[in-house]
Amino acid sequence: MERETCTYTCPNCRRQIRTLADEYGDHGCTCGWVPFDSEEEDE
């Protein structure tokens, strides 16, 4: 069974990132960008 993938663009370096659909937004980019700032998660 093949899993669904999706592609998004890093807002920092504009790199196209392909990931599993159920992991969308869970991973950052090799440029150092992360989807969620840890300070915002604490609020």
pLDDT at residue 36 in the model: 77
pLDDT at residue 13 in the model: 96
pLDDT at residue 37 in the model: 61
Residues of the chain whose pLDDT is less than 70? 37-43
* Helix count and strand count (H, E) for the chain: 1, 2
d(CA 5, CA 20): 4
pLDDT at residue 39 in the model: 53
pLDDT at residue 38 in the model: 55
Residue carrying structure tokens 């890093």: 10
Tokens representing 25 are: 């937004």
pTM of the shown model: 0.62
